[in-house]
């Protein structure tokens, strides 16, 4: 059964725009859980332009669902994750100044680096997922690096979906089947929405988790947070 993890970065972006504590990021995370989210995702960056390292520390003892921290494994990020010990860490290849995640790992080129970092986290009992593009070769080398899961980078799927859903999903099904064959868990995220999420889950029914932030928070402006989470959750539960 696919789980819905809500990324609350955009809530922190809104808070940081004015300073203070409105909206209250911690309370929103707890409300997401109360409204049915299966997990909470945060992506702290070194400049703390949205989620702050202090948010991550404060969230850990409060959450009752799965806590997923994603980010580039720089020294400060690694130290934070080892201190907090979330349920899952998702490693992304973002350089420090990038606006948002826009590519998956080249797991061939960075094999040695990823194996070392993954080993560090797994030694602390933290499940490790690698953010990869829909390429069976990248999935295969994620497994060789020791990852527990891969997260498929779904922006290309979301971009192509309106014009041709069947063609949009094709490479993702192939990558997903490779992950399944190798015994890897399977997550997905980036630009998933109420429009395209249902078809993704229908065509890849063995997805473990989807992580959704931007579209979900945008929808909540019109629908309200509780109704929005219910709608997204119903799509991941339809199978």
- Residues 70, 133, 140, 151: which is the catalytic one? 70
- Residues 43, 50, 141, 233: which is the catalytic one? 43
* Three-state DSSP state, 160: helix
Greatest Cα pair distance, the chain, in angstroms, is: 48
Identify whether the C-beta of residue 208 lies closer than 8 Å to the C-beta of residue 187.
yes
- Pick the closest to residue 129 from 211, 44, 216, 7 (CA basis): 211
Question: Count of residues for the chain?
Answer: 239
- Residues 66, 140, 151, 190: which is the catalytic one? 190
- Is position 43 annotated as part of the catalytic site? yes
Give, rounded to a whole angstrom, the gap between the first and last alpha carbons of the chain.
Answer: 8
Burial of 160 (0-12, 13-18, 19+ CB in 10 A): middle
- Pick the closest to residue 232 from 27, 36, 21, 58 (CA basis): 36
Bond preceding residue 88 cis, omega within 30 of 0 = no
How far apart (Å, rounded) are the C-alpha atoms in residues 187 and 131? 9
Task: State the catalytic residues.
Answer: 43, 70, 190
């Amino acid at each position: 059964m696919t789980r819905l993890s809500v990324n609350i970065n955009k809530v922190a972006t809104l808070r940081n725009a004015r300073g203070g504590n409105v909206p209250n990021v911690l309370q929103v995370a707890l409300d997401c859980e109360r409204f049915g989210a299966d997990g909470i995702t945060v992506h702290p960056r070194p400049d703390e332009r949205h989620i702050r390292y202090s948010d991550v520390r404060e969230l850990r003892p409060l959450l009752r669902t799965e806590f997923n921290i994603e980010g580039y494994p720089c020294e400060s990020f690694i130290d934070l994750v080892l201190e907090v010990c979330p349920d899952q860490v998702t490693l992304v290849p973002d350089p420090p100044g990038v606006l948002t995640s826009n590519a998956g790992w080249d797991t061939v080129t960075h094999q040695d680096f990823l194996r070392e970092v993954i080993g560090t986290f797994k030694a602390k009992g933290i499940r490790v997922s690698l953010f990869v593009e829909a390429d069976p070769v990248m999935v295969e080398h994620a497994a060789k690096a020791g990852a527990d899961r891969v997260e498929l980078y779904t922006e290309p799927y979301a971009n192509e979906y309106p014009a041709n859903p069947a063609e949009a999903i094709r490479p993702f099904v192939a990558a997903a089947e490779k992950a399944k064959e190798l015994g890897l868990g399977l997550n997905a995220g980036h630009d998933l929405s109420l429009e395209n999420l249902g078809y993704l889950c229908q065509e890849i029914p063995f997805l473990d988790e989807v992580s959704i932030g931007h579209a979900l928070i945008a929808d909540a402006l019109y629908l309200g947070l509780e109704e929005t989470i219910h709608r997204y959750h119903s799509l991941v539960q339809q199978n």
